[in-house]
Amino acid sequence: MKRRVLLATAALTLAGRGNAQPSSMLVAERAWSRPALARIGTAVTYLTLRNDGSAPVRVVGGSTDIAETVEIHESVVDNNVARMRPRPEGVAVPSGGSVRFQPNGLHLMLMKPRADLRAGQIFTITLRLDNGATLDVPVTVAAREPAAGHDGMHH
């Protein structure tokens, strides 16, 4: 169990491009994707982003080798009807706070995966931040959400 939590909580520090910004530290936790078929043309990734830095950070997009594009979307179940809308404005993670991308809510949408995503596979999504920095996030493909790590939840 402990090992599992450790694996699921691969914390990453912000890799600044050009000017390093030691004050802003974004951590991605419990990133996972559902298995998906390439021929269907979409896949989804969920994760929790925690901002340990002193400045707010906005995630504005991402990319991955395994799909053509990565978009930030949000599902809204409104009046019992499920809809999905793009979030081109991205998602702000407040200083000292966290944002959860989770089923039936915020998600990263992978358009046109180049191959099927199979359970157990690990791939990388590079998130693009508004301050010009990027964050590499290892994503595990799993049929179900990984068990919650003790430090994975911030309410």
Partner 1 sequence: MNRRTLLATLGVGIPVAGALGWGVSEWMLRLMQSPASPSSPMQQSIGSPFALTDHAGRRVTDTSYAGTVRLVFFGFTHCPDVCPTGLGYIAEVLDGLGDEAAKVRPLFISVDSSRDTPELLASYVTQFHPALIGLTGSEAEVAQAAKVFRTYYGKVSTGGDSYVMEHSASIYLLGSEGTLRGFLDTHEPVATAVSKVRLALRDTAPNAATPAGASS
CB of 86 to partner 1, least distance (A): 8
For the segment 98-137, give every residue that binds partner 1 (CB under 8 A): 103-104, 107, 109
Q: Who contacts 2 (Cβ-Cβ below 8 Å, separation ≥6)? A: none
Q: Who contacts 132 (Cβ-Cβ below 8 Å, separation ≥6)? A: 16, 17, 18
**Residue 35 touches which member of Cu ion, partner 1, none, C-beta under 5-8 Å by kind:** partner 1
Kindly tell me the burial class for residue 142, based on how many C-beta atoms sit within 10 Å of its own C-beta (0-12, 13-18, 19 or more).
Answer: middle
CB of 30 to partner 1, least distance (A): 16
Q: Is 155 in the site for partner 1 (CB under 8 A)?
A: no
Residue type, 67: A
Answer for which of 8, 43, 57, 135 binds partner 1 (CB under 8 A) is 43
Q: Is 144 in the site for partner 1 (CB under 8 A)?
A: yes
In angstroms, the CA 71 to CA 24 distance is: 23
- Give the torsion sign (CA, 64, 133, 47, 2): positive
- Cβ closest to partner 1, residue 24 vs residue 140: 140
Task: Give one DSSP letter per residue of 40-65, joined into a string.
Answer: T-EEEEEEEEEE-SSS-EEEEEEEET
Q: Is 73 in the site for Cu ion (CB under 5 A)?
A: yes
Q: Is 34 in the site for Cu ion (CB under 5 A)?
A: no
Q: Is 84 in the site for Cu ion (CB under 5 A)?
A: yes
Q: For residue 102, count other CB atoms closer than 10 A to its CB.
A: 14
Answer for which of 43, 49, 66, 109 binds Cu ion (CB under 5 A) is 109
Site for partner 1, rule CB under 8 A:
34-37, 39-44, 73, 75, 77, 79-84, 103-104, 107, 109, 143-144
